[in-house]
Amino acid sequence: MIRIGNASGFYGDRFAAMKEMLTGGELDYLTGDYLAELTMLILGRDRMKDPGRGYARTFLSQLEEGLGLAIDKNVRIVTNAGGLNPAGLAQAVRDLATRLGLEVKVSHVEGDDLLEHGFPGALTANAYLGCWGIVECLNTGADIVVTGRVTDASLIAGPAAAHFGWGRQDLDQLAGATVAGHVIECGTQATGGNFAFFTEVADRTHPGFPIAEIDATGEAVITKHTGTGGAVTVDTVKAQLLYEIGGPRYLGPDVTSRFDTIRLTQAGEDRVAITGVKGEAPPDTVKVCVNTLDGFRNSMTFVLCGLDIEEKAALARRQLTEAVGAEGLVWTLARTDHADADTEEAASALLHVTIKTPDPKRAKAFSRASVELALASYPGFTLTSPPADGTPVGVYRPEYVSQQVIEQVAVLPDGERRTIDPPVTFGGAAAESPAEPAYQAGPTRRVPLGTIVGARSGDKGGDANLGVWVRDPAAYPWLAAELTVDRLRELLPEAKDLDIERHPLPNLTAVNFVLHGLLGQGVAASTRFDPQAKSLGEWLRSRHVDIPEALL
């Protein structure tokens, strides 16, 4: 068995996490996930300013206090902080080690950058690589492995495959490690962070980061260092399993992991066993994260207080539209106001407006024009921010290329470059939908859905993922009968015209939805109130429905 910890779920996560994980208990490997679709855009803009950048510089700062600890404790580090420039970060790590007087073997993985492969206008184009470049680096003695855009779970599957000597044919083992990796890749979301039933977590102020104990069969136990905050329960793990997935076949470049075969068991305090995971051959294509620049955006928010809210909003709309033109303006009136309110804030509504334009001067003029209305508009005119320049708009889209196109290379500590061959066996059969369980109606009570239902939601480009589950298996037949696509559209009117996928996962007493197009062109371009759909699940849980009294 090996213990693989994670110390970062995104670029900007807890700075002290690396040190906490290295000093909190025993580890064999420590991983760090710094990349997301939005992060690739941010790093792309960094690289435009300085070709030597393009990696997550926070990792270097964390490593300054963590490298000596890792060497002393014989903990090897695997991270995707290399972003768009893994070679640059690898060299920066070597330079840091030299400055600290430490000896360390650093390798990196290349081959994800596909900008030269026919994506016109792309700022970034990066394939999601698998784990085998990481495996080659570790097998040749690397203490630190830096990657660019690999799948998040590959950061965990790579060390497991290297340690146990798995090959490409060991699909069940790879699938088990991939599922464990999916659980811990987002850090404290596996240990009580962003958890629907968070009020039940006793120590929720400073949750510890997660650890996957993986054995030679690919089965795993999710845990955390003793004495750290948060909790590891079947439900905290299940919530993370449902995060940003699609159907029961979880596609990756090395293996297709069957989420409909996962079994979760509480194996002790803060210990959850993951067993039974089946793997299939991967698809013959690899997903590519493509980001382009598409003009500029700017936003302002008008505060509308007291009476005549609709009329005040109409006046502000008319005046600003006359000043800058209607093209590219998106308006949203949030009726947060209350009648006869006892505070000014409670008496106020918010009128949000965003402009998207190819002209940076117009984006700036929009902000200035909003301020110029201050003495010439509705009574009580107030803005929530000063004028500002527009910012570039990034648009994300997924593309797919053949596995054979990818030229993955492991660059070893001595500089040797080893090509990683692509897989030669592929799968592609669609999973059959499980039969819906029988449900017999009985007396009900109208209460919030979240009384018995948990949820976690997030973004995948312009789509939103919404996973819901019940903790009591006896409630699953009701959940499956209640939450159909049509019923979801009723509960979330914003989604009434969207294409929605529904995927039952009875083994997890869960249903997963994918709401296509809810986020437009992706988080960086979205004008939605919650551009990453992080609160979508909590909105759904707040809706009132008729729940059987026997389940309450």
Domains of the chain and CATH, by start? 2-289+398-419 (no CATH), 293-395 (3.30.70.2750), 444-551 (3.30.70)
Measured CA angle at 445 (ends 443, 451), to 5 deg: 125
**Strand 408-411 relative to strand 106-110, pairing:** antiparallel
What distance in Å separates the CA atoms of residue 35 and residue 39, rounded to the nearest whole number? 6
What distance in Å separates the CA atoms of residue 353 and residue 360, rounded to the nearest whole number? 17
pLDDT digits (tens, 9 = 90+) for 288-328: 999 999 999 999 999 999 999 999 999 999 999 999 999 99
Could you write out the DSSP letters of every residue in 205-218?
SSBPPEEEEE-TTS
Among 29, 28, 90, residue whose Cα is nearest residue 413: 90
Q: 239 Cβ partners below 8 Å, 6+ apart?
A: 189, 194, 195, 196, 454, 456, 467, 469
**Structure token digits, residue 523:** 């988080």
Q: 336 Cβ partners below 8 Å, 6+ apart?
A: 348, 349, 350
Distances (CA, A) of 350 to 40, 346, 353, 378, 382: 32, 11, 10, 13, 10
Is there a contact between 107 and 137 (Cβ–Cβ < 8 Å)? yes
Indicate the residue type of 290.
V
pLDDT digits (tens, 9 = 90+) for 91-124: 999 999 999 999 999 999 999 999 999 898 899 9
pLDDT tens for the chain, 552 residues long, are 999 999 999 999 999 999 999 999 999 999 999 999 889 989 998 998 999 999 999 999 999 999 999 999 999 999 999 999 999 999 999 999 999 999 999 999 999 999 999 898 899 999 999 999 999 999 999 999 999 999 999 999 999 999 999 999 999 999 999 999 999 999 999 999 999 999 999 999 999 999 999 999 999 999 999 999 999 999 999 999 999 999 999 999 999 999 999 999 999 999 999 999 999 999 999 999 999 999 999 999 999 999 999 999 999 999 999 999 999 999 999 999 999 999 999 999 999 999 999 999 999 999 999 999 999 999 999 999 999 999 999 999 999 999 999 999 999 999 999 999 999 999 876 667 788 898 888 999 999 999 999 999 999 889 999 999 999 999 999 999 999 999 999 999 999 999 999 999 999 999 999 999 999 888 877 888 898 999 999 999 999 999 999 999
Is there a contact between 461 and 289 (Cβ–Cβ < 8 Å)? no
Q: 296 Cβ partners below 8 Å, 6+ apart?
A: 356, 357, 358, 359, 360, 362, 363, 390, 391, 392, 393
Measured CA angle at 64 (ends 61, 70), to 5 deg: 125
pLDDT digits (tens, 9 = 90+) for 26-36: 999 999 999 99
What distance in Å separates the CA atoms of residue 486 and residue 274, rounded to the nearest whole number? 33
Which contiguous run of DSSP H or E holds residue 40? helix 37-49
Is there a contact between 403 and 253 (Cβ–Cβ < 8 Å)? yes
